[in-house]
Amino acid sequence: MPVLLMFVCANIFRARILAEQSKGNALFDVADKTALITGGGSGIGAFMASALSDAGAKILVVGRRRDRLEAVLGQREGGIFSFDLGQNGATSRLAEVVANAGFSPDVIVNAAGVNPRLHADSIDEAGWLETVHLNLSVPFLVAQAFAPQMKSRGWGRIINIASLQSFRAFENGIAYGAAKGGIVQLTRAMAEAWSNHGITANAIAPGFFPTELTAPVFGNPEIAEKHAAQTAIGRNGALEDLRGPLLFLASDASAYVTGQTLAVDGGYTAK
C-alpha cells in the first residue's frame, strides 16, 4: 500500500475512533443542565451536588443548614436555598423561590432524609410521621413541583435515594425502612406518570457509605466490618463509588432506563 494511502487510512481510522469517543462522552454530558439536590449540605447529597458540578452542571443545593450549603457551593455555579422541607407547603415555596431566582431544574436528586433509629416499640406517632414525610412524601412533592417545567422541555431526570432497607429489614429501622421501601414503588409510579414526557425516574440504593446518617455504624469498627463482610466485594462504600451511577442516571446515557432502582452496594443484596 502506498505510503500516502496508508497515511490517509490511518487518519480516517483515528478520526472515527475520536468521533466514537466523543459520542460516548456526550452521552454522560450534563454541562448544559441545572440540578437541584435536596439534602445538599451533607453526606450523599453534598457529594452528589459536587459530582454534578464537577461534570459541568449548575447546582441548586437545598437544606436546612445554610453554612453547610455555602460550603458545598463554594465558587461553583448555582444557588443556595435554605429550606426545612419538613414544613407544610415548603416544596411549593421552594419551587417559587427557585423560579424567581431564574433557575429551572433539569435534574432532581432527592437526597434529604432522616433516620431516628428507634425500635418499633419505641417510636411515637410524631417520629413516625416525620420520618415517612421527609423520606417518602418530600421526594414526591419536590418532583411534582418541578415536573411541569421538565414536561415543557420534554426532558428531565429524577433520581431518588433508596436504601438497603428498601429490600431488607434492619434493627431499629421500622419507620426508615417503610419509607425507603416506599421509595422503590414511588420511583416506579413517577416513571409511569411522567416518562412519556421525556422525564425518567430512577433510584440509587446505596449500601453502607460513611455519612452523618451512618455515623453510628462507622463509629463502631466491629459493626462496620460486619457489614463490609456481607458485601460481595468485601468492603463498605466510598462516596466516589456513587459518581458513575449518578452521572449515568442524570444524563442521556440512561434515556431508556426508567422506574428502576440501582443498588450500589458492593453486592450486599446479592448475597
Catalytic positions, please?
176
Q: What SS3 state is found at 153?
A: helix
The residue type found at 159 is I
Burial class (CB in 10 A: 0-12, 13-18, 19+), 20: exposed
List helix spans (H) across 33-119: 43-54, 66-73, 90-100
Distance CA 73, CA 78 (A): 7
Distance CA 72, CA 227 (A): 29
Cβ-contact 163, 181 below 8 angstroms: no
Cβ-contact 176, 162 below 8 angstroms: no
> What is each CA distance from 80 to 39, 45, 61, 95, in whole angstroms?
12, 13, 5, 13
Distance CA 18, CA 180 (A): 42
